[in-house]
Structure 1
Amino acid sequence: MDEKPSTRKGPGFCSLRYGLAVIMHFSNFTMITQRVSLSIAIIAMVNSTEEHNMSNVSTEEPLTDAFNNPSRSIKEFNTGASVYEWSPETQGIIFSSINYGIILTLIPSGYLAGIFGAKHILGTGLLISSLLTLFTPLAANFGVILVIVIRTIQGMAQGMAWTGQFTIWAKWAPPLERSKLTTIAGSGVAFGSFIILCVGGLICQALGWPFIFYIFGDIGCVCCFLWFVVIYDDPMHHPCISVREKEHIVSSLAQQPSSPRRSVPIKAMVRCLPLWAIFMGFFSHFWCTIIITYLPTYINSVLQLTERDTSGVLSSLPFIAASSCTILGGQLADFLLSRSLLRLITVRKLFSSLGLLLPSLCAVTLPFVTSSYMTTIVLLILIPGTSNLCDSGFIINTLDIAPRYSSFLMGISRGFGLIAGIISSTATGFLISQNSESGWRNVFFLSAAVNMFGLVFYLKFGQAKIQDWAKEENLTRL
C-alpha cells in the first residue's frame, strides 16, 4: 500500500514555497531561452547583412524553423557573403555541443546537489550559463572553436541547473502539492520556448543579433540574484518563512527521510523495477518529442505548405498548449490527492497514461488526415500539450519512491531521455529519407509503439511508496 499523505491544510498560493516555484519557473525560462538563442541568432550571424541592419530577414519567416531545423533556415536566408563562414556541418557541431555538455553533468550534478545542497549547485550553474551567454558574441569573433567550447561548458552548467531542482522539492513540497509546485516550475521551459521563438527574430532585426544574447544573458543574471537571495535548501533555515508554513511543510514530510546521504545504493537501484519503470517512461516521453522537432518539415513535405503559412501557429500554439497542460495537470493531480479521490500511485499512473496514450493516438491519426490542414494543425498542437501531462506522472515519481536520491535519479532519467532523443532523431531521418509519405507514417507508428511500451512497463511495475533502500533506517548499511 502507498503511504497516505496528510490531508492537513496549509498556507495557500500566497506562501513562500509557491514563490520558490515561480522563481524556479523563470530560472527554467532563462535556461531554455539561453539554449535556443544561438539557433535564432545564427540566421543573422551567417547572413550577409550588417549586425544592426537586418532588413533582409523578414520577421514573418520561420522562427520555429530556426529552432527546429537551423541548417535549412540558414540556406533560405543566406543570399550573400557570410558574416561568419560556418558551414552547415560546423553549425551542426555548434548546436550539438550544448547537448553533450548537458549529458556530462546530468548525473554528477544531481549527486552533488543532494550532498552540498541545490541552492549553490543550481545557482552556480545558472550564473555560469548566463555569463557565457553574454560572452558568446565576443567569442564568435575569436573563432568557431571558442564558440563550441563555450557552448559545451554552458551545457555542463545547465546540466547542473536542470537536475538539482528535485533536491529542493524533496524538502519544500508537501506530498499533496508536489504536482502543482513542480509543474509551475517546469512550465517555464515551454513558456521560454514560446517567448524566444516569438521575439528572437524581432530582436535580431531591430537591434542586431548580439542583443539576443545580451538580453537573455542579463535576464539570467537577474534570476541568479533572486535565486541566491530567496532560495534556501530547506524551510528550516529560511529567514522569511512564516511559522505556520514551516510547521505545515515539516509535518507533511515527517515520514520522509531527510538526513544527507553519504553513499548511493547503486546495486539496489539497478534491481529496482519501479525505478526502471520511471526510466522507461522518460525514454518513451522524450522519444515522442522528436515529432515537434520535425513539425516544419512535416508541414512542408506532406501538406505542401510554406513556413510563411504556418510559422505563427508553429512558433506559439504548441508551446502554449504544453505550458497550459503542464500547470493544469499539476493542479488536477493534487486536487485528486487532496480530496482523497484517488491513491497516489493511481494518480501517477493516470497522468502517465494520459501523457503517453493521448499523443500516441494523435500521432497515429496524423497520416489519415493529411487532406485537412486544420485537423493536422490541431493534432500537432495536441501532441506536445497532452504529452506534458506526464509531468504529474512518472516524471516526479522519484520524489515518491526515493526523495533522498531524487536529484541523482532525475539526472539518470534525463539521460535516458537524451538517449531516446538521439535514437529517435536518427530513426526519423532514416525513415523519411526512404519515402516521404510512408516514412512519416512509420515515424508516427514507431513513436506510438515506443510510447505504448513505456506505458505498459510503467503500469506494470510503477510504484509510489518509498523503496526500502531509500529509507532512513537503511542509511548506515549503504
Structure 2
Amino acid sequence: MTNTKTGTCAVPARHSLALLTSAGVAVLYMLRINMSVAIVAMAHTPTPTSGNSNTTTHAHTTAYCVSYNQENQTILMEETLKGKKTAGADNSTLPEDYLTEEDPLTNKMVLTGAEKGMVLGAFFYGYFATNIPGGRLAELYGTKRVFGGAILIGGVLTLFTPLAARAHYVVLILLRAAIGLAHGVVYPSLNTMVARWIPPLERPRFMSFTYMSNTLGTIITMPLCGMIIAEVGWPAVFYVTGGVSLVWVVVWALFMHDSPDQHPKISLEERSYILHAIQDGTTHNKPSRTPWRSILTSVPLWATHVAHIGSMFGFNLLLTQLPTYMSSILGFSIKTNGLLSAIPFVTQFLGSILSGMWVTWLLTHKYMTVFTSRRIFSTISLVLPGIVLVIVGYVGCDITLAVALFPVSTAFSGAICSGHLANHLDLAPNFAGTILGVSNTLAYMVSICVPVIVGAMTPHQNLKEWQAVFWLTAVMYVSSWMVFTVFGSTEIQPWNYSTVVEQQQQQPTGKETKFLKPEKNPQVVASDSQAEA
C-alpha cells in the first residue's frame, strides 16, 4: 500500500502490530516462568523420612513413579523369574531420562516445600497489585510506554536474580515480587491497544495470536532453560532471558504506535477501515471519568471476572507446578523436564489459533451470534481442561498416557481468547484496559495462592496428593464456567458511554447543533474526505 501523505506499509499495520506484540508477550513469559524451571536446579527441598515425619533428610529421594515402577517390577520378576536378575536391579526397563541420581547439593538453596512455594508465587504477589493502574495508565498514556516500560524494568531486575538467590531466599522473593509489580500492567494495557487498533470481528483472532503468545514464551523458555542449566548452570538462565527482553524493548520503542492516527506509514484505506469499525464502542460519547460504581456493580462483568479467576487458577497451576510434577512424580531429568513441560503449551497455542480462526469465520459468515460463541468457547476452555486434569491424576504411573493428556487439556484451554477473555471488549470497549485490570487483579489474588496450596497439599509428593490438587483445579474450572454461562452477556454496557449530563456538556450550543452527526467519528469523516480526494 502506498500513499504520499501517510507513507507506505507493504504489510497491513495491524498485522505488523500483531507480530511485534506477540514477540513481546513471549518475552514477558520468558521472564515470568524462567524461575519455574530453574528452581528445580537451584533449590533442594528436604522431604520427611519414612521413619519419622518430624525429621528431614538431604539424601536423594527417588521420584514417585520411578520408585513405584521399580518396586512393582522387582516383585513381579522375583515371583516369575526366581534366580534371575530382576528389572529393579539395573533399571533396564526404565527410560534413560528418568532421574537416577541427585545433583550435588553445592550451590543450591535449601528450601522447604512452603518456602519453595513462596518463591514460585512471589511474582504474583506484586503482579495483581498493578493491573488496575496499568489499564488506566494505558488509556491515558498509551500502550507503547506502559508495555515497553514494564518489560524494561522486568528485564533489568531479572539480571540480578542470581545475586538475590545467593543472598537469601527472602531477597529472591522481594525481587520476584518487584518483577511481578512491573509486569502487572501488561495485559490491561494490551486490551487498550486492541480497543484502539482492532476491528471487533477480528479481535478473537488477534487476541488468540498475541495474548496466547505467552504459550510461545513458555514453549521456548522451558526447554531452553533445561538445556542452559544442563550445559552452563542455572544462573545463565536469568542472564539469557533478561538480555533477550532488553533487545525486544529497543525494537518495540522504534516501531510501535499507540493508534492508527499516530502510525506514519499506515495506508489511508486501512486507517479509515479501522476507525470506522471501532467508532461505535470507543469514540461515541466517551466518558470523561471512570464509572467505578458501575464497573464494580455490573453483573455481566462480574460473571466475566469469575470465569477469568477459574481459568487463571488452572493456567498458573500448570505454569508453576508442571516442571515439579514432571520431576517429583514422573521422574524426568532437568533437561527432558523442560522439553516435556513445554509441549502442553504448544498445543495450547495451536488450540488458541484454531479457535480464533474458527470463531472469526463463524461470526463473519453470521453462522453464530457473538453471545453464542462466547458460551460455546468458554465451555471448551473451562469445562474440558478440568475433566482431563482429573483423568491425569488417575492414570497412575502410566507415564506415556500422563504426558499425552497434559497437551490435550491445554489445547482445550486455548479457546479462552474466543470465550470469556474477549468479553471485556464486548462489554465496555472504552474501558477495556481498566476492566481487564480488575479481572486480572482478582484472578491473581487467587493465583498467588496456587504454589502455596500445592506445596501444602503435596508434602510427600505422591500421586494421591496430586489427585487432590487436580480435583481442586477441576472444581475451580467448572464452577467459574457455570457462573459465566448463567450471568454472562455480550451487550455493550450503558456505562461504557458518557452520562446524559456529560453528553449535554460536550454538545455545542446554537444552530450548529442540528448539523452534528454524533454517530460519525470526525476523524473518520476527515479520512473519508482525503480518500475521496
State the one-letter code of the partner of 1:360.
Answer: G
Q: Is the 8 A contact 1:468 1:474 kept in 2?
A: no
Question: Which blocks of at least 5 consecutive residues in structure 2 are unaligned?
Answer: 1-8, 45-62, 64-97, 506-533
State the one-letter code of the partner of 1:270.
Answer: L
Q: CA deviation at 1:263?
A: 2.4
State the one-letter code of the partner of 2:383.
Answer: L
**Partners in 1 of 2:368 and 2:454 — Cα distance?**
38
Whether 1:459 and 2:485 are equivalent positions in the alignment is: yes
After TM superposition, the score normalised by the length of structure 2 is 0.74
Question: Which blocks of at least 5 consecutive residues in structure 1 are unaligned?
Answer: 1-11, 48-60, 62-72
Q: CA deviation at 1:257?
A: 2.4
Matches within 5 A, 1:16-31: 16-31=13-28
State the one-letter code of the partner of 2:354.
Answer: L
Matches within 5 A, 1:69-468: 77-82=102-107, 87-88=111-112, 92-137=117-162, 147-258=172-283, 262-289=288-315, 292=318, 293-295=320-322, 305-308=330-333, 311=337, 314-370=340-396, 372-425=398-451, 428-429=454-455, 439-468=465-494
**Partners in 2 of 1:216 and 1:98 — Cα distance?**
16
Q: Which has the larger radius of gyration?
A: 2
Q: Secondary structure at the match of 1:164?
A: helix
Q: CA deviation at 1:241?
A: 0.9
CA deviation profile, 1:406-425 (whole Å, cap 9, x unmatched): 11111111122223324555
In structure 2, do the counterparts of structure 1 residues 77 and 17 end up closer, same or farther at CA, with 3 Å as the change threshold?
A: farther
CA deviation profile, 1:38-90 (whole Å, cap 9, x unmatched): 4444556569xxxxxxxxxxxxx9xxxxxxxxxxx99x7552432x6564466
CA deviation profile, 1:78-113 (whole Å, cap 9, x unmatched): 52432x656446655443332212122112111221
Question: Alignment RMSD, CA only?
Answer: 3.3
State the one-letter code of the partner of 2:146.
Answer: I
Q: Is the 8 A contact 1:43 1:77 kept in 2?
A: no
**Partners in 1 of 2:458 and 2:40 — Cα distance?**
25
Name the count of aligned residue pairs. 439
Q: CA deviation at 1:296?
A: 5.6
Q: Is the 8 A contact 1:115 1:262 kept in 2?
A: no
Q: Is the 8 A contact 2:43 2:111 kept in 1?
A: no
State the one-letter code of the partner of 1:341.
Answer: Y
**Partners in 2 of 1:357 and 1:110 — Cα distance?**
29
Q: Is the 8 A contact 2:330 2:397 kept in 1?
A: no
Q: CA deviation at 1:205?
A: 4.0
Q: Secondary structure at the match of 1:199?
A: helix
Q: Is the 8 A contact 2:427 2:490 kept in 1?
A: yes
**Partners in 2 of 1:442 and 1:324 — Cα distance?**
29
After TM superposition, the score normalised by the length of structure 1 is 0.81
Q: CA deviation at 1:469?
A: 0.6
Q: Is the 8 A contact 1:284 1:420 kept in 2?
A: no
Identity across matched positions, percent: 28
Q: Is the 8 A contact 2:132 2:435 kept in 1?
A: yes
**Partners in 2 of 1:180 and 1:212 — Cα distance?**
32
Q: Secondary structure at the match of 2:396?
A: coil
2:31 corresponds to which of 12, 28, 34: 34
**Partners in 2 of 1:144 and 1:358 — Cα distance?**
38
CA deviation profile, 1:407-463 (whole Å, cap 9, x unmatched): 111111112222332455555555556995655444434433332221121112211
In structure 2, do the counterparts of structure 1 residues 142 and 420 end up closer, same or farther at CA, with 3 Å as the change threshold?
A: closer
Q: Secondary structure at the match of 1:320?
A: helix
Q: Is the 8 A contact 2:121 2:451 kept in 1?
A: no
Q: Is the 8 A contact 2:313 2:447 kept in 1?
A: yes
**Partners in 2 of 1:39 and 1:348 — Cα distance?**
32
**Partners in 1 of 2:496 and 2:397 — Cα distance?**
53
State the one-letter code of the partner of 1:24.
Answer: T
Q: CA deviation at 1:146?
A: 5.1
**Partners in 2 of 1:311 and 1:93 — Cα distance?**
22
Q: Is the 8 A contact 2:196 2:282 kept in 1?
A: no
In structure 2, do the counterparts of structure 1 residues 382 and 13 end up closer, same or farther at CA, with 3 Å as the change threshold?
A: farther
In structure 2, do the counterparts of structure 1 residues 475 and 287 end up closer, same or farther at CA, with 3 Å as the change threshold?
A: farther
Q: Is the 8 A contact 1:115 1:261 kept in 2?
A: no
Q: Secondary structure at the match of 1:256?
A: helix
